[in-house]
Amino acid sequence: MSFLLPDLLYSGCALHPALAVQIAGDRVGRVVPAAQLPAGAVVERLPGRALLPGFVNAHSHAFQRGLRGHVQYASGPGPTSAPGPSGGGSSRPAFADSFWTWRDRMYRLANALDPDGVEAVSALAFLEMARAGFTTVGEFHYLHHAPDGARYADPDELALRVVAAAETVGIRIVLLRVAYARAGAGLDPNPLQRRFYDRGPDDVLAALARLRARGVAVGLAPHSVRACPADWLTALAAFDGPVHAHVDEQPAEIAASLHEHGRRPLQVFADAGLLGPRFTAVHLTHPDDDELALLRAAGGRVCVCPTTELDLGDGLFPLDRAAGIELCIGSDSHALIDPFTELRSIEWHARAATGRRNVMGPFEHPDGSANALLHAGTRGGALALGVDAGTLAPGTLADLVAVDIADVALRGARLLPALVFSGHPGLVTDVWVGGRRIVAGRHHLGSEAIVGAAERALEKAGG
Ligand SMILES: [Zn+2]
């Protein structure tokens, strides 16, 4: 029997001293007081450490890690424009850098990576996630084909490359296989999107079945109402697993949905039969109150990606109007990879938008907001991905992180709120996924090889 004995262990919404947790294969075994450890137990002491459930990154496009630092200047309008009747090229000011110009540059990277490059850059993103304390990633995967749209000999080549990258790092992955039909309602196919296009919803369902048969944990990701027409969404509702979709990220996509369907995006997903406890709305940056009520009633979730939503100029998630809706986090475009910053930013954005403090609640306990945010960053994400992790409850997957509570950032502080509101990835010393330690003493054994391969791939891609 193997136990970990940190100075503090997060259990039942509090940090407790003198508790040991058993690792039983890939699962959490018992949590026992240190004084009651069984005779003969193998105990690893973790002095100066608090042990928490691993963070869950519920929304990632791993290859976009290759954009870092390359999209922080305005480079002029690209070849495509915003979808729909508003926000198109002609209606923009002479030139304003925006989500849509960023997207053009992201597409250029997406088309420059060969399969080795996709795998290498994905591994770099996953390595950084693991070092930051993420133990599971939901990879919203839409690179399916060769740049000219040709199918690879194995049609799931790139999905399997991304899964292989996760295996190289040791992070748990749920492959959210994207369905992508079109550039937008009434728009010609965009040559920069040829790698994404599926032939029909049956192709998507078949890919999901093939991946599952190969042992890959999967979810369905109808990209957005912009990229999937209503008849595709209805057909895709036959899938039996987690469903994630971009919703209300940009005002232009809402305008396009109203123009095509006479309804806002979340209503379109609901009409297709996709809304329910298995549904996660990624972003939901510009919902109206009816959409929030619809999601709340359906038991669906929101994956907030605060740093990307700031970086892309998407806007701020309206936390103050979202009471009763479960949240999770994603680092999305990987402008940075830091679960602590994602979590506190949900709250801080709401403070900036409303002029109030501690918007998240519950309000009556000094650790209330921190606990609610930690829940979103751990169990909330795990449930959104259909993974039994994100808690140290016996029987759940043994995905754990140890943080350095002797760090100067936490000294003299009330620890739990300080972890969430002042923590940083440098605090993470050790990471276990399914009971296997993948980061030890702030070091991942594969770091050098993974970083080297990614740098070579990005150089080759013209990065
Ligand atoms: Zn996304």
Domain extent listing, the chain = 2-54+390-441, 55-385
Radius of gyration of the chain (CA): 22
* pLDDT more than 90, % of the chain: 87
User: What is the 295 CA–ligand 1 centroid distance (Å)?
Assistant: 19
Give the integer Cα–Cα distance in Å for 50 and 118.
35
How many angstroms does the Cα of residue 385 sit away from the middle of ligand 1? 15
What distance in angstroms lies between residue 59's CA and the mean position of ligand 1's atoms? 6
User: Both tokens of residue 233?
Assistant: 């969404």
Distance 366 CA to ligand 1 centre (A): 33
Calculate how far, in angstroms, residue 428's C-alpha sits from the geometric centre of ligand 1. 26
- Exposed, middle or buried: residue 269 (CB in 10 Å: 0-12, 13-18, 19+)? buried
- Both tokens of 261, joined, read 């369907």
Active site members: 283, 332
Q: Which of 135, 165, 127 is nearest to 444 (CA)?
A: 127
Burial class (CB in 10 A: 0-12, 13-18, 19+), 443: exposed
Distance CA 60, CA 94 (A): 32
Residue 317, both tokens: 């998630």
Is 0.85 topped by the overall pTM? yes
Tokens representing residue 78 in the block: 């690209």
Domain 55-385 homologous superfamily, CATH:
Metal-dependent hydrolases (3.20.20.140)
pLDDT at 80: 54
Beta bridge partners of residue 56, listed in sequence order: 136
Give the pair of three-digit tokens for residue 338: 């830091």
Q: Which residues of the chain have pLDDT under 50?
A: 84-90, 92
Give me ligand 1 centre to Cα 452, in Å: 26
Which position has the token pair 């619809």?
A: 294
Centre of ligand 1 to C-alpha 246, Å, is 6
Give the integer Cα–Cα distance in Å for 14 and 394: 16
**Topology given in CATH for the domain delimited by 2-54+390-441:** Urease, subunit C; domain 1 (2.30.40)
Written in H, E and C, the secondary structure of 126-177 is HHHHHHHCEEEEEEEECCCCCCCCCCCCCCCHHHHHHHHHHHHHCCEEEEEE
What angle is formed at CA 106 by the lines to CA 105 and CA 111, rounded to 5 degrees?
Answer: 100
Cα 202–chain centre separation: 26
The count of C-alpha atoms lying within 13 angstroms of the C-alpha of 350, restricted to the half-sphere facing its C-beta, is: 20
Other C-beta atoms lying within 10 Å of the C-beta of residue 76: 8
pLDDT, position 282: 97
pLDDT (tens digit per residue) in 100-123: 888 888 888 889 999 999 999 999
The rounded distance, in Å, linking the Cα atoms of 173 and 134 is 11
Check: CB of residue 279 under 8 Å from CB of residue 301. yes
Residue 205 alpha carbon to ligand 1 centre in Å = 20
Task: Give the environment of ion ligand 1: residues with CB less than 5 A.
Answer: 332
In this structure, are strands 301-304 and 326-329 parallel, antiparallel, or unpaired? parallel
